[in-house]
Amino acid sequence: MRHHPRSTMARPPAATKTTTTRRPLLVLVATVLASSLLPPPSDAAAAAANPAAAFDSWIAKNQENYIVNMALYAKKAAGDGGKTLDASLSAAEEKKTTYVIDPSGKGDYATITAAIADIPNNNDRRVILDLKPGATFREKLLVNLTQPYVTFKSDPTNPATIAWNDTAATPGKDGKARRNSR
């Protein structure tokens, strides 16, 4: 009989009683956790018989879980079940200002871009950009992340239109095609 070269090495010390009693407990806990993730046997048989119903059931359970988690998150974030605004948004609402934007020049600004440029970085007040009803603004807009609390408002019965027609072939500042819609 041929011996493996490692067979002459010393064996590790025998496991202590604590290790041997913990191992079955760990296996038991892992088994219980794994079995709780599996559908009950009746659901498994139903799933095999009707996969579409099983999928619909899975979707419904995920939607239910999502709704419960979102409600818990909202309560945690607001601290009162979502009945009040967070402190920074409440402070911004107290200091709100409105900029009237009219392309004919009769408002505070003739373009949306000019109004956005006057919003300071790290803005701490609500800025309402009131767009002239029915006006068309042909502008490419960028509201920076450091300019929070900006609201675009217009008359819902005759709303303003904001349009821009960039395509992937539109040249960028360097004169080359952008290759994306940024």
pLDDT digit string (tens) for 107-165? 999 999 999 999 999 999 999 999 999 999 999 898 988 898 999 999 989 999 999 88
Predicted local distance difference test score (pLDDT) of residue 27 = 57
pTM of the shown model:
0.50
For CA atoms 79, 80, 81, 87, the dihedral sign is negative
pLDDT tens by residue, 166-179: 777 778 778 887 66
* Nearest partner of 132 among 109, 160, 164, judged by Cα: 160
The pairing of beta strand 127-131 with beta strand 150-153: parallel
Predicted local distance difference test score (pLDDT) of residue 56 = 76
Instruction: Give the three-class secondary structure for 139.
Output: coil
Give CA–CA dist 158/161, Å, rounded. Answer: 9
Report the Cα–Cα distance between both ends of the chain, in Å, rounded.
Answer: 73
pLDDT tens by residue, 37-89: 555 555 556 656 777 777 777 777 777 777 777 776 666 665 555 555 577 88
The answer on pLDDT for 18 being more than 50 is no
Give CA–CA dist 29/80, Å, rounded. Answer: 37
